[in-house]
Structure formats: C-alpha cells, structure tokens
Amino acid sequence: MTLEQLNALEHAEFVQTLSGIFENSSWVAQAVFKERPFPHVSGVFLAMDYVVESSSEIQKLALIREHPDLGSRLKMSSESVLEQSSLGLHNLPPELFERFSQANQKYQAKFGFPFIICVRNQSGVQEVLEAFETRLKNGLEREKGAALYEISQIALHRLTDLLES
C-alpha cells in the first residue's frame, strides 16, 4: 500500500488497515485518522507513537498486555507470528522452549505483563534470552518504559512494511 492510498481510505478501512501496527489496538489508528493527509510515512508513525505516549497508564498497560509471550505456542496476531518466526521462536527445540517458558513466567510474575522485545532488532535467540535476564533486574517503571520503547520499534517496522509493500 502506498501512503497516498492510506490517506485516501475511509475511516473504517483506515482503522482496520492500521489496527495491527500497535498489537490489536485499533484505538491508536482511530485517534490518528483525523490527522490525514500524512505527507510522509514518518508522519504516520510519529502521530501513532504520540497517541500511545500521551495515553493513560491504563491504556499503556492494556497495550503492553496485548502482546504475546515470546516463543509461545498460543494464538497471536499474524504480525507477531511473522516477527517471532524470523528468529525461529515459533519452532524452538524443547530445551529452548523450556528456557523461554521459564523466562516468560518469571517476567510475568515480576511485572504483570509479557516481556516485549523487537525481535527484528535482535541477532538471535541467545540475544533475546540475555535481554530477558538483563531486564528482569529493572524496576517496574523502568520496565514499562522499556516495553513501550520496544512496542514503538515493532510498530515502526510494521508500518514501514505495510507502506513499502
């Protein structure tokens, strides 16, 4: 889709098209619809990112909690499936699957939301496991900030993919 095509969409189609940019969060797309037309792809991203940044703590936590566990075999969005597949997280050998399961459980128990990392910015599974260990040392507020930063990175990749395809 081109930027021009996105700018020309009616409200419902615009929201549907962008609802997966921020995981299952159509409210972000709804909030930026009135900002059209966007002169650049970066303008779409910055508008969407601003909506998230300026949202309430409840909305931010809800957005964070929309993300699936890494390496999970549970149902997830098609975007998450593709992203996790890029590192082989969809088909981990049993010993790595167990390490991811344990890391996800520890993280969820400490913070109350799933560990989020932009896997497309990682070089491999080991780097993701190291990030788990490092970020488990964070406090809650710092980790919420880290999760939102990673969500922003994920969204940037997704939007770029959508508007460059």
CATH number at 157 reads 1.10.3330.10
- Band (164; pLDDT cuts 50, 70, 90): confident
Which residues are part of the catalytic machinery? 67
Question: Which tokens hold the place of 82?
Answer: 């593709």
pLDDT tens digits along 100-157: 889 999 999 999 999 999 988 988 889 999 999 999 999 999 999 999 999 999 999 9
Q: Is the peptide bond before 94 cis (omega within 30 degrees of 0)?
A: no
Q: State the total domains in the chain.
A: 1
Average pLDDT of 75-80?
62
- Band (82; pLDDT cuts 50, 70, 90): low
Separation CA 87–CA 67 (nearest Å): 17
Residue 76 has pLDDT above 60, yes or no: no
CA 17 and chain centroid, separation:
16
Q: Is 61 helix (H, G, I), strand (E, B) or coil?
A: helix
Structural domain of residue 97, as residue ranges?
Answer: 3-164
Average pLDDT of 50-73?
89
| pLDDT attached to residue 144 | 98
| pLDDT attached to residue 47 | 98
| pLDDT attached to residue 74 | 55
Residue ranges of alpha helices (H) inside the chain are 3-8, 11-18, 26-32, 41-53, 57-65, 78-85, 94-111, 125-135, 140-164
How many other β-carbons are positioned within 10 Å of the β-carbon of residue 14?
18
